[in-house]
Amino acid sequence: MQYIPVKTRILKPPKDDLFSVLDEYLPVIKERDVVVISSKVVAIGEGRCVKESDFNKKEHIEKEAEVIIPRPYWKAPLTITNHVMVSSSGVDRSNSNGYYTLLPADPFASAEKICAYLKNRFKIRDLGIIITDSVSSPCRFGATGRAIGFWGFVPLKNHIGEKDLFGRKIKYERANLVDGIASGANVLMGEVAECTPIVIARGLDNLEFKDGNFKNILFCSFAEDTFRILYERFL
């Protein structure tokens, strides 16, 4: 497996042309590549930026979040938005030049659109797209990458029924491939001024490429979530 970072020009809020950036900076995309793209530049490409002076952050969070978890010790609530636990529904001021940048309105629709565009441009059949955001994890300092939308491949590898090294049959385990790829790409994307919003993941032999929206394969319901005890009183 290989990660190939792609440096680009700065995409400027409140709106910029993401597809012209893809045309200018992407190297040749090959069959079975996965293109990982920062949600920040996808959102800027969609004009999902609001002037700080015009933005009511509290109202936006109440509208966007599926779950709001107050944090009296912190300035912003923890939320679950698009099945991702993230601060303030993903609203971000970094690299936004006086604006708040929101998450893409529909990250899966965004990923589908980018996937179709790049397949047509490079005349390939199998291609994956991941839109990633930086999130914090409990009991850890620092941010890692998480997929908030994807297209073109099945996100999980099911190991249920397989046997481990000692012949024990697996009952529950599934490998989360999409978030693993996103996290690895995020190491190269960086968090500040790296100007590397795109990473190509190549040589992913264990991926099943297939068109379609597979978020329901990845996203579990709150009732099925083994971590729901942490937030269920806020549902």
CB-based contact 4:202 (threshold 8 Å): yes
CB-based contact 154:217 (threshold 8 Å): yes
Start-to-end C-alpha separation, the chain: 40
The pLDDT value given to residue 173 = 83
CA-nearest of 124, 117, 140, 89 to 202 is: 124
The pLDDT value given to residue 171 = 83
Q: What is the model's pTM? A: 0.95
The pLDDT value given to residue 159 = 86
The pLDDT value given to residue 115 = 98
What is the number of structural domains in the chain? Answer: 1
Instruction: List, run by run, the mean pLDDT of 10-residue segments along the chain (235 residues).
Output: 97 97 98 98 98 94 96 94 95 92 97 98 98 94 96 93 88 91 96 95 96 94 95 96
The pLDDT value given to residue 174 = 87
Structure tokens at 5: 């970072």
CB-based contact 157:206 (threshold 8 Å): yes
CA-nearest of 135, 116, 124 to 38 is: 135
Report strand pairing: 127-136 vs 33-38.
Answer: parallel
- Boundaries of domain holding 68: 2-234
